Amino acid sequence: MPPSRLAIAIGFFLSDIIIRTSMRVAVFASGGGSNFQAIVDAQKSGYAAIEVVLCVTNNAEAGVLQRAAREGIDSIVISSTSYSRAGEFARELLNALDECGIELIALAGYMKKIPAAIIQKFPGRILNIHPALLPEFGGKGMYGHHVHEAVLRSGTDRTGATVHVVDQGYDTGRIVLQREIPVLPDDTPETLAARVLDVEHQLYPDAINMVLLNEFSS
């Protein structure tokens, strides 16, 4: 049976939305890149209308580089230590982002502070994921196992993950989305980190979708 005119119209309508909301994304990561993978998988399954076109790292040994290569996504290693002036590091990053037409940056375990020039160029368009319920257990020095150790030391019975907009502070930008999980009596930093990471992999694509929705409905 030939498709009805209504079905064709709906098809055009949906493809128009998908084309208009497909955002070019750069993921910045310094480590294994499981969140990079979760974001790429959300694109591949059609869950998020994004196109991850660049992986940026400061660490030539980062596992995320292998993931990017496997996915056929361009990657670039830019280490701040190779530049004597902070401005040169920022310029190098900006050039790479410009060349790829990046519209949204997702920090996923990126261990360097983002230069102010980049925050100004991408207002509200740089996201970060943090493995705790900000504003608790955030700030300078609160990364990786330090976060989960502090959570356990505090005796709290809940933790989780947060996606927030990046500003010039440490973990201080506007919160986009959070998800909570219980801290279990026999949790160790390692078991907690693993359970929070599972949450992160769902949360990041959800938060990106929220940013896309706001962007195209305003």
Whether 130 sits among the annotated catalytic residues: the reply is yes
- Closest to 200 in 3D by CA, of 171, 160, 172: 160
Which region among 8-16, 39-47, 81-89, 123-131 touches ligand GRF (by CB under 6 A)? 123-131
- By the rule CB under 6 A, 35 interacts with ligand GRF: yes
| Residues numbered 169-208 forming contacts with ligand GRF, rule: CB under 6 A | 197, 200
Please identify, using beta-carbon distances, which residue of 99 and 198 lies nearer to ligand GRF: 198
Sign for the CA dihedral angle at 56, 61, 63, 69 comes to positive
CA atoms within 13 A on the CB side of 40: 22
- Closest to 50 in 3D by CA, of 42, 58, 62: 42
Structure tokens at 191: 């078991």
- Angle of CA points 194, 165, 104, to nearest 5°: 95
Which region among 14-22, 26-34, 47-55, 85-93 touches ligand GRF (by CB under 6 A)? 26-34
Residue 15 neighbours by CB distance under 10 Å = 10
Please identify, using beta-carbon distances, which residue of 149 and 215 lies nearer to ligand GRF: 149
| Residues numbered 100-119 forming contacts with ligand GRF, rule: CB under 6 A | 108-109
CB of 22 to ligand GRF, least distance (A): 23
Residues annotated as part of the active site: 130
Which residues form the interface with ligand GRF (CB under 6 A)?
29, 31-35, 108-109, 129-131, 197, 200
